Chain A
């Protein structure tokens, strides 16, 4: 039913194009999240959308279009009407998909307008509770000594845990045996159960397990220590400088969306990121909102291009493709 209303409204909007930008938004906005509901990206999206809805005076509805590592949802938005009523909230996968997929249904750098960065969720390098190495240095030594005996769990190709693992292995110049899972849930279950040795995942998934002692943490992949895990050193402190990964999230609109609308959305995003409720929930997740400078079209564009440049050699060296 909603779909039909939305379709009818889109139709009407095309004919009302000139007046569009001033009145924007005059109806419900759909924000496509290219992952399943309930996951970390979905949670971030809902928190931001809730706050932006209040500011814009129109409801932002989250539509979960999961599948194919987020490329299906991104493809959907790339083809949507550029009227500001269909947006995309995607994470680092926007950059890495450009390398992981040889055939994408959209052109990553030319199919979207940039609204702004939302947040960058740090990651933690963790291991099963009874794994021998006690700190990052001894882990690296252990990994080198035991060659590929060390098993590394990830949540599937293109997942945050997969990216972090590739970067870790390229930094320590030692391959670990990769054990892929379908999603973080089963991977974490096997890590807690002691079936696999090491994993690197977003704080959203690891913080509580670390605090309860079900798994142990070697390092965070952030520049500074995290408020939620004050005892865990950063990778640089623990002896592996340059091992920095953050799962950054950005808001996009289809190419051709008017700059007035993009600016309006960007301003609203910046407001939402200062909303105390959002700040607090982000802190619970172990992350912080992006700054005003980052939550801009330029901020997101810079991030996207630099991340594509950064991950291309890592992914190509690992020789993996998702298609």
Chain B
């Protein structure tokens, strides 16, 4: 292909995109979208899926490009906002910010909420910008990569994810393993996808589709944290008193550059995979950072890399998850399914033809992503001071408010009161786990990956007619499995070493 001509074409396309995105009405709604996204991201439990669903009817009256730009803004705005509560009150609204809570919340406890939030915002902006360029340049070839992933590859990818998830533990590896297994077990609840048999639903029709992720996450992270805080107030006083600077120091900047780059790369690649891609990317980024760090023991105790990498990864992933939607009309996650719904309502058939039939929409949306990311970083950096001050709000006001928002958010997903009982139950479970010093992040990963692991295993075996060799004869799948084994080996070695360290410490 003639590179020069392609380059010119790209510039022309981007020009068209930016001229669409820069229309006052589109700029305005892009801003409305990212602002709304940030707000709902900050409010625990209320996710972009529910918000976009609620706003869908309003977009009837807009131009197609305007409505998609706004809805997209809500989506990636929520990724920015989601990290705020994860860092400040250990309450991730979405699976992707669950990892950010691990070190982000520890940073906040040490009085470094400002730098943590700034790191998240800057990392997200960088990742978002890179991912936008990737979409513009490589959307069609990247789609081809995503299509190479069949059930066997997904199974191996999930396997790798599960093995790596043990690295999320900052304490005992054994407990982390137990949490992963507990998560897997929770993931079993619901209808068997092959036979329709009900597993562990105990006669509740509400459990037929499994436990609600938001309910589990809000319960084990948020509610448990509130309960824990209720028993000792001292922690928090320390947290507020210690707030010193809002901006990352020179050393912080130095420490975050490489993790942001790696997180962006990982997130961009994994984001294009439908289903688990975006979820896996933040987990994977965190694991990689901890693995290659010279001081892995800092992770879980407020390491800035543990915020920078997953935040970059989840924003990059959020952005590149648009690729299958834009190039194939196939939704990679529920939010993309809504975007497709929005297009259909507008009379646009999503699919491979959108780029050629509606270039102003296609390129306008891509250009707006960069514009939206810029708006977000400009919007979020000045807000950091405000968010940090949120920590000074007395418990008596903050906790009821959080509980109320959690309840609204969880209810809005399926308009189902059952999910609220689930939150309460998982809140108690989470509290017990805190008491036992078991960490919730591996549990959540097991819960998310378990069902996908099982489905893809059975799917791959059905397609291969019961021949398990598919997992090793397909090159991509085999590579992923080899990686999983490698991770297993490296996980095992340091834990032996760590045990020795412990022994030495006790001696001394």
Q: Which residue of A lies closest to B274 (CB)?
A: A189
- Interface stretch, picked from B131-139, B194-202, B288-296, B421-429, is B194-202
Question: CB within 8 Å of B: which of A14-40?
Answer: 36-39
CA of A183 to CA of B28, assembled, Å: 35
CA of A188 to CA of B331, assembled, Å: 10
* Cβ of A175 to closest chain B Cβ, rounded Å: 13
Q: Does A196 contact B (CB under 8 A)?
A: yes
Q: Does A65 contact B (CB under 8 A)?
A: yes
* Across-interface contacts of B344 in A (CB, < 8 A): 43, 204, 284-285
Question: CB within 8 Å of B: which of A47-83?
Answer: 47, 50, 61-69, 71-72, 75
Which of B60, B198, B347, B351 contacts A209 (CB under 8 A)?
Answer: B351
Question: CB within 8 Å of B: which of A277-292?
Answer: 280-281, 284-285
Chain A residues with a Cβ closer than 8 Å to the other chain, count? 59
* Across-interface contacts of B56 in A (CB, < 8 A): 37-38, 46
Q: Does A180 contact B (CB under 8 A)?
A: yes
- In the bound complex, do residue B414 and residue A65 qualify as a contact, i.e. CB atoms below 8 Å apart? yes
Q: Does A298 contact B (CB under 8 A)?
A: no
Q: Which residue of B lies closest to A148 (CB)?
A: B465
Which of A178, A188, A190, A214 contacts B151 (CB under 8 A)?
Answer: A190
Q: Does A164 contact B (CB under 8 A)?
A: no
Q: Does A186 contact B (CB under 8 A)?
A: yes
CA of A179 to CA of B154, assembled, Å: 15
- In the bound complex, do residue A212 and residue B345 qualify as a contact, i.e. CB atoms below 8 Å apart? no
CA of A151 to CA of B208, assembled, Å: 26
Interface majority SS (helix, strand, loop, mixed), chain A: mixed
Which of A38, A47, A207, A322 contacts B53 (CB under 8 A)?
Answer: A38
* Across-interface contacts of A189 in B (CB, < 8 A): 146-147, 274, 324, 328, 330
Q: Does B340 contact A (CB under 8 A)?
A: yes
- In the bound complex, do residue B148 and residue A320 qualify as a contact, i.e. CB atoms below 8 Å apart? no
CA of A323 to CA of B207, assembled, Å: 11
Chain B residues with a Cβ closer than 8 Å to the other chain, count? 53
Q: Does A321 contact B (CB under 8 A)?
A: yes
Contact with A along B336-374 (1 / 0, CB 8 A): 011111101101011111000000000000000000000
* Across-interface contacts of B462 in A (CB, < 8 A): 151, 177-179
CA of A323 to CA of B148, assembled, Å: 34
CA of A45 to CA of B332, assembled, Å: 23
Q: Does B459 contact A (CB under 8 A)?
A: yes
CA of A42 to CA of B198, assembled, Å: 26
Q: Does B7 contact A (CB under 8 A)?
A: no
* Across-interface contacts of A75 in B (CB, < 8 A): 205
A185-B147 contact given A37-B338, A38-B337, A66-B414, CB 8 Å threshold:
no
- In the bound complex, do residue A38 and residue B351 qualify as a contact, i.e. CB atoms below 8 Å apart? no
A36-B205 contact given A157-B191, A186-B274, A190-B150, CB 8 Å threshold:
no
CA of A182 to CA of B193, assembled, Å: 7
- In the bound complex, do residue B416 and residue A320 qualify as a contact, i.e. CB atoms below 8 Å apart? no
* Across-interface contacts of B414 in A (CB, < 8 A): 64-67, 72
Question: CB within 8 Å of A: which of B150-209?
Answer: 150-151, 191, 193-196, 198, 205-206, 208-209
Residues of A within 8 A of B (CB): 36-39, 42-43, 46-47, 50, 61-69, 71-72, 75, 100, 105, 149, 151, 156-158, 177-182, 185-186, 188-190, 192-196, 204, 207-209, 211-212, 214, 280-281, 284-285, 320-323
17 A-B pairs besides A64-B414, A157-B196, A193-B149 with CB distance below 8 A are: A38-B331, A38-B341, A43-B344, A65-B415, A72-B206, A72-B208, A156-B193, A177-B462, A178-B462, A189-B147, A192-B328, A192-B330, A204-B344, A208-B352, A212-B351, A285-B344, A322-B191
Would you list 9 pairs from A and B whose C-beta atoms are within 8 A, ordered by A residue? A38-B341, A46-B60, A66-B414, A72-B416, A182-B455, A185-B274, A185-B337, A192-B330, A322-B191
